[in-house]
A = this chain, B = another copy of it.
């Protein structure tokens, strides 16, 4: 009985295609001999596509992507400052559009410091936490505008929109994750002393859900204080739940302390399964090093592992992670090409359990 998984692949720009190629190779290797068959459709989207055709995300393509079981996403974005991209907003028009339209309300970003990986911190301790970033509202809502643009009297607003509906579902998801982890700890992060309106909504909901989970130790940090703990005592974190913008900031920082952004993986998850979830490395398209086999595909490979979890192939996901762990421990300071790292991870894949 084979199961066909329809996978939409969006390699994107810059190093995106290189790292996605390795993630795909690892996926093929880890699924070989199992019951799953991947059926891939590639979508050529991003800054390059925009430059070639003026299109960002045509409706028909979005509809086609929606027919898939999951999306593997590389990175999008052209050379910073490219004047031809001035009018484009690939991030809002493509990446965020997919996150919003496909209701990826759980933006899952694990952070671990694997054995053998150097941290930028002198004494990081045990780092193993996961950030649950709200993915569909907050300051990312896109509301706001400019009045009298270009004049001395210009006013620009950004409206952060936060709903009980949106907060409750992501907070519940974070509590369930925390309940399944050994330390059973949840830290929610906001800036309630300043953003008093949305802060009150978050607080009310976290407290209500916490009351249903007496087994979970809950604490709160202002986002500014959270950055301090992130660099001074990251081992205090287990599950973090926070809003879209704070999550964006904290997860880049988490990536930097957890062995670098080259290892930071993520899943943009629609837990209901109404829409395909999307799995992407946290890093960007890094056009400056593109096409040279310099990029580390580990974040893309670990993102594929989160995808395997999501699709119910937990054993295979764990095999990928264990291969990455083994590779990282063996890596040392050697410079290897993107493809070398992909091959090394494949070589470390534990055999499929009989």
Contacts and interface: CB of A to CB of B under 8 A. Distances in A.
Contact of A194 (B140, B153, B165): B140
A200 B121 contact: no
B227 A249 contact: yes
Interface residues of A, number: 65
A201 B156 contact: yes
Interface in A72-114: 80, 89, 91-92, 96
A198 interface: yes
Most buried by B among A123, A194, A201: A194
A144 B157 CA distance: 11
Interface stretch (A31-39, A252-260, A266-274, A345-353): A252-260
Nearest to A143: B157
Interface in A106-160: 118-123, 139-140, 142, 144-146, 149-160
Given A231-B231, A252-B227, A159 B162 contact: no
Given A193-B91, A194-B91, A164 B154 contact: yes
B197 A145 contact: yes
A187 B82 CA distance: 19
Given A195-B158, A196-B89, A201 B146 contact: yes
Interface in A146-193: 146, 149-165, 168, 191, 193
A228 B255 contact: yes
Given A120-B231, A121-B231, A150-B204, 15 more contacts: A92-B193, A120-B232, A139-B158, A142-B196, A144-B159, A144-B160, A149-B200, A154-B163, A154-B164, A154-B204, A158-B160, A223-B248, A223-B249, A232-B260, A249-B249
